[in-house]
Structure 1
Amino acid sequence: MSTIAIEDAIAKVGMWAGRPLRFERIAAGITNLNWRITLSDPQEIYFLKIHGPGTESFIDRDVAHEAAIKAGDAGIAPRLLFYDAADGIEVYEYLHGFRSCGVLETQHPTIRENIVRAYKTVHATQTLSVVKDGFAQLDQHLNRLRRMGAELPRDFEEMLWQRRRAEAAIRAAGMDLVACFNDGYVSNYMYNDDLEVKIIDWEYAANNDPYWDLTMFSWENFYTDSQSRRELIEIYDGAYREDIAARVHLYVGVASIVWGLWATYQSLTSSIPFDFGKYADLIFARGRMAMAVPEWERALVTV
């Protein structure tokens, strides 16, 4: 799919027909083009997203649309106001007073708690039409890269062996499947002066184990020590559980492979001026670290 020009995208939005407005590019996001739309009479502000070229090859736009609506209905995301699937246009309510988190902000105890509780809200109230747990996400990326003949790390078969061990242990323990965000990229969390939180960009959403979301949040925001992990589990479940801590540790290893493969694919296809290859190397290294410590072996028998 080629990317529609912003002027043409605006013309598609019927609620803006004949109304004077201005548009401003928002320099954020990795795969899409984002714009702030300001109408002058009366003044209203909206957020417009144009799907990035080629993103349909790794994003299920139908389930992303479903997730955007349901997350908005749950009150933890902006409401979707307009959607054009053919040209890849989405218009959302503008989150006045909200700004994107960095890792420093997600360390704030209130913001951290509100993010975890937002996840708990959507997990407890929503399901989606597609199931894609972390292992299925990994296989999707891997199969695509193998078809492309992509070069993978020299120790990748060892990493896959560890993935199979983790999958066997987790599937034997069982998992619930609920609507999950499946991402965790830090700027997808937004907060205001009252430290209220919204979670944006539900593009990778699908039914999954809710502890995958907890893992992705801890992994992306460097809640990696045992005390931080304990605190996240206590916020989410009300009490600490060793089996959940073990599950989260195993998911750190698996998620590192998932996102290392994602970054590898981006390094081969993306036109964005970012060194995705080096990013992939760093993510794979985090996976090796999770698998190399004694906690990995303990997790396999504790989950």
Structure 2
Amino acid sequence: MSSSGTELATIRSHIAGLPGWGSGDMVIEPAIPVLASPSWRGVDGFPWRATRKGSDESIFIKRMDRDAELYIDVACAFESAQRASDLGIGPKVLLADAKAGHLVMEDLNRGWRVGTLERMLEPKIVDAVIAARRLFQTGQPLPRRKSVFDEIEDFYTAAMAANAQLPLDAEWMVKELRFAADAFGELDITPVPIHGDGNVSNILISDAGEIRLIDWDRATTADPLEDIGSFLVEAFAQEPEARDAFIRNAGAFEEGAFNRARIYGVADDLRWGLIGALLAARSARNTLEFYKFASWRFVRCRMAVREPRFGEMLRRLA
């Protein structure tokens, strides 16, 4: 049996143990295209859809790729997806097997669409996304406790060890964000569980305006402003819109907290640039444009750090 045939057989055996799926024929096929650039979609785990023949009933299966061990704590990611399911802010989890790397969920297909930047212009959608993130933050700490600054150090070390292609100023960007990490270390921050990934394609929106957060692979216990910071940098290119979303999150404007969130967004770009560079060097999936994705994140980080406002934000954290 081929490797793909073995994989499908394993997925089929997992599904067969679910209530109502133990009998009858089913069709298992790829759910969405996998691409790294321009959007990191389906990269962490190959997405499958299982449909019962003769009906519209389907379920969604995420099978973590071997690359996941390079940059994801799968057990924590699956635990976070289960928590989101229990809270009603993520797809309902039917089975989570971290050892096998299989996450089986309800299939939010018909009547749901992936979030886009245009939908982030709708106040009701932004409010729903913010409310979901804040609800998740009320839970118990997750076993993973790494901030974006911790991950920058980890992935920079890993990228260097892999002889990854990095921009000439990569070390400079890392050093600049170390200054930020040192400044944040002086603040009184209470870590909470966070989603940790602001990519708008990780938001599913129903025709009725409901939202669900997906892809909990960066979930961790960290500063709650890190969560809103990664969302701001992805969803709002201009500061006025980012400021408005921040106020919707905090209830009021506080300059030090806003600066902190914005710097977290800059750090998020550097982290993802390093992840992309690492996978470009280490992944066997050479058809995905990992470095193209990395280059864009490096460019955005570089632009932000070079602005005089970056230093001003660092000076005004409190």
TM range (shorter): over 0.9
Structure 1 residue 191: Cα displacement? 0.4
Is the 1:72–1:80 Cα contact (8 Å) retained in structure 2? Answer: yes
Q: Name the CA distance, whole Å, in 2 between partners of 1:272 and 1:119.
A: 34
**Which of 18, 26, 31 matches 1:26?**
31
- The superposition leaves residues 26-59 of structure 1 with CA deviations (integer Å, 9 ceiling, x where unpaired) of 1241232112212258753211111112312221
How far is 1:70 from its partner?
Answer: 1.0
Q: 2:8 aligns with which of 6, 9, 15?
A: 6
TM-score by length of 1: 0.92
CA distance in 1, matches of 2:161, 2:68: 17
Distance 2:197 2:127 in 1: 18
Instruction: Name the amino acid aligned to 1:249.
Output: R
Counterpart of 2:137 in 1: which secondary structure?
helix
Structure 1 residues 151, 42: CA separation in 2 closer, same or farther (over 3 Å shift)?
A: closer
Matched, 1:65 2:78: yes
2:103 match: secondary structure: strand
Contact 1:233–1:241 (CA<8 Å) still a contact in 2? no
Cα distance in 1 for partners of 2:30, 2:265 equals: 34
- Residue equivalent to 2:209: 195
- Aligned pairs, number: 301
Q: Which residue identity is paired with 1:33?
A: F
Query: Is the 8 Å Cα contact of residues 229 and 245 (structure 1) preserved in structure 2?
Result: no
Q: Structure 2 stretches of 5 or more lacking a match?
A: 34-41
Alignment of 1:42-61 (within 5 A): 44-61=57-74
Which whole-Å deviations, capped at 9, do the CAs of 1:156-182 have from their partners, x for residues lacking one? Answer: 222122112111111212322111111
1:181-233: CA deviation from partner (whole Å, max 9, x where unpaired) = 11222221000112111001111211111111111111122x13221122111
2: CA distance, partners of 1:82 / 1:249:
36
The aligned counterpart of 1:105 is 119
Tell me whether 1:131 sits opposite 2:145 in the alignment.
yes
In 2, the alpha carbon distance for the partners of 1:43 and 1:149 equals 48
- In the alignment, the residues of structure 2 paired with residue 269 and residue 161 of structure 1 have an alpha-carbon distance, to the nearest angstrom, of 24
For the residue of structure 2 that corresponds to 1:174, the secondary structure is coil
Q: How does 1:76-87 map to 2 (within 5 A)?
A: 76-87=89-100
Distance of 1:172 and 1:269 partners within structure 2: 36
Equivalences for residues 209-248 of structure 1 within 5 A: 209-221=223-235, 223-248=236-261
Percent of paired sites with the same residue: 28
The one-letter code of the counterpart of 1:218 is: L
Q: Which residue of 1 aligns with 2:177?
A: 163
SS of residue paired to 2:146: coil
Taking the aligned partners of 1:301 and 1:144, their CA distance within structure 2 comes to 31
Q: In structure 2, what residue type is equivalent to 1:291?
A: V
Show structure 1 runs of 5+ residues with no match: none
Q: Which moved more, 1:208-217 or 1:18-27?
A: 18-27
Q: Is the 8 A contact 2:229 2:263 kept in 1?
A: no
- What is the CA distance between 1:252 and its match in structure 2? 2.4
Query: Aligned partners of 2:75 and 2:194: how far apart in 1?
Result: 15
How far 1:246 moved relative to its partner?
A: 0.9
Change (3 A) 1:224 1:171: farther
